[in-house]
Amino acid sequence: MSLTLHFHPLSSFCWKALIALYENDIPFTPILVNLADPAERAALLKLWPVGKFPVLGDGARGEAIPETSIIIEYLDRHYRGRTRFIPDDPALALQTRLRDRFYDLYVHLPMQKIVGDRLRPAEGKDPHGVEEARTRLRTSYEMIERQMAGGGWAAGGDFSLADCAAAPALFYGNRGAARRRLRQCQCLPGAARGAAVVCAGVEGSRALVSNVSKGGLMASTDKENTIRAIFAAYLAGDRRRVENSLSDDFRFTSPYDDGIDKPTYFERCWKNADWIERHELEKIFVDGDEAFVTYLCVAKSEKEGGGKRFRNTEFFVFDGDRVKRIDVYFGATYENGVFVKQGET
């Protein structure tokens, strides 16, 4: 089998395709596409001139398949596994496709509109479009609340294409149905649960799933999401996204940096993050415009100092949707589980 998935780890539509691949344990090679890189963008446009990911490549059949719903139906047809994404029954199949369209068009896209607008610079915001998206989402959530009142999956009896669409779309939601839906994912046996964990894990966000499923204020979740998005963007080398999340009068303080400004921060601190395996965001406490984050940073084992782990705490101050201050407090360092005293690394 020679499947490739052209994707980006921050793309929620890519999670939809990943859920289907993991759900049925279909082997594939992930190809990370950095749209800021002209060569990588050109390669994606060659596969799908619309320029959206994910795109599934199938070397064995010589095909490139865009659009998540089509990718998942393609997998269901050509790489069938224990879970059927589209039921054989024609009426159920229609219902499944309808729910898939519903989650993509009326939950996922408005959610992206709202989240995307937060990352835009002040002069590029679209309040009218965001208001429309909020209205659309409200209607959709009400429909989901009604539909999910009796439990079950997004299109009825079994996990399907509709659930692959629903999970990333609801991931950012903070409403009853979303919470129930995520809780339900966490209680699943076997493969489908794996799929739900993939949805949460792609961005290293299992904690967010449990926070969302515990409820919490929308405003806190928004700030929390911004913090998570900044960490994920840092790891993905997405400088533009980080820049857009920081206010122009941003200040950064650490044991090495005394209140440095935004340009100095990028000059000094914007390093290649390819030595980092992951940030495990262990705790995020949001209180109004302020937040504390404690995380474990794990280095890639093949890099110099491999396997190194250390824990930092960062204090965030927000100005509206953007971060205007970060203070970093360094924590303990461990190598192979053994405490390493400062000054010895």
Which positions touch ligand GSH (CB under 6 A)?
11-13, 35, 51-53, 67-68, 104
Residue 107 or residue 299: which is nearer to ligand GSH going by CB? Answer: 107
- How many C-beta neighbours within 10 Å does residue 312 have? 16
User: H or E segment at 284?
Assistant: strand 276-287
Nearest-approach distance from CB 9 to ligand GSH, in angstroms: 11
Residue 133 vs 299, nearer CB to ligand GSH: 133
Closest CB to ligand GSH among 125 and 283? Answer: 125
Closer to ligand GSH by CB, 17 or 177: give it.
17
Compute CA distances 41 → 36, 44, 49, 137, 229, whole Å. Answer: 7, 5, 10, 31, 22
Nearer to ligand GSH, 238 or 277 (CB): 238
**Ordered alpha helix ranges (H), the chain:** 12-23, 38-47, 68-78, 90-103, 109-118, 127-148, 161-171, 176-186, 190-201, 206-213, 218-236, 239-245, 262-269
Q: Tokens for 297?
A: 């940073």
**Per-residue exposure over 50-78, b if at least 16 CB sit within 10 Å of its own CB, e if not:** eeebbbbbbeeeeebbbbbbebbbbbbee
Q: Minimal distance in Å, beta carbon 337 to ligand GSH? A: 37
Q: Least distance (Å) from ligand GSH to the CB of residue 104?
A: 6
CB of 25 to ligand GSH, least distance (A): 22
Closer of 53 and 172 to ligand GSH (Cβ)? 53
Q: How far is the CB of 164 from ligand GSH (least distance, A)?
A: 10
Question: In 3-state terms, what secondary structure has residue 103?
Answer: helix
CB of 47 to ligand GSH, least distance (A): 12
